[in-house]
Amino acid sequence: MRAALEKLDLTQAQKDRLRELVLEARPGLQALRGQRQADRAALHAALEAPTPDPSTIGSLMVKMKQGREMVRAERQRLHDATLSVLTPEQRVRFEAYLDAFKALRRRGGDTR
C-alpha cells in the first residue's frame, strides 16, 4: 500500500493523517498476527501429537479461520479509512495501482 500512496502526490496533511491511521491500526494488527502465530503453533502441536484429537484440530481450524477473517476486516477498515483521506482522483489511481498489484501477485510476479 505504501508504494501506491507514494505515487499519489499527497499533501503533507494527507501524509500526516495516513501515518496516524497506520499507527492506530498497528497494535491491533500486531496482536492479531501474534494470535495467529500461536494458533498455528497449537495446530501443528495437535497434528503432531501421538494420537491427534479430531475435535481439538477442528476447533483450532475454526479459530484460525476466525483469525484470518479478523485480519481481513481490520485491513479493510484501514483501506476504507485511507480512501477517506484521498481526493476522488487519488482514489481512482490508488485503486488502479492496488488492482495491478493484485493481478501481478496472482500471476506469481515479484511484488517487491
The percent of residues in the chain predicted with pLDDT above 70, rounded, is 96
Residue 37 lies in a domain: yes
Residue 112 lies in a domain: no
Q: Helix axis angle, 54-85 relative to 12-48, nearest 10°?
A: 170
Distance (Å, whole) CA 17 – CA 85: 7
Cell numbers given for 111: 511484488
Residue 111 lies in a domain: no
6 within 8 A of 100, measured Cβ to Cβ: no
Regarding pTM above 0.75, the answer is yes
Query: What average pLDDT does the segment 67-95 reach?
Result: 94
Residue 40 lies in a domain: yes
Residue 55 lies in a domain: yes
Which residues constitute the domain of residue 37? 2-106
CATH number at residue 47: 1.20.120.1490
Which residue did the predictor score with more confidence, 100 or 48?
48
If one counts the domains in the chain, the total is 1
Distance (Å, whole) CA 76 – CA 82: 10
Residue 57 lies in a domain: yes
Residue with cell 500461536: 38
Tens-place pLDDT, residues 13-66: 999 999 999 999 999 999 999 999 999 999 999 999 999 999 999 999 999 999
Residue 77 lies in a domain: yes
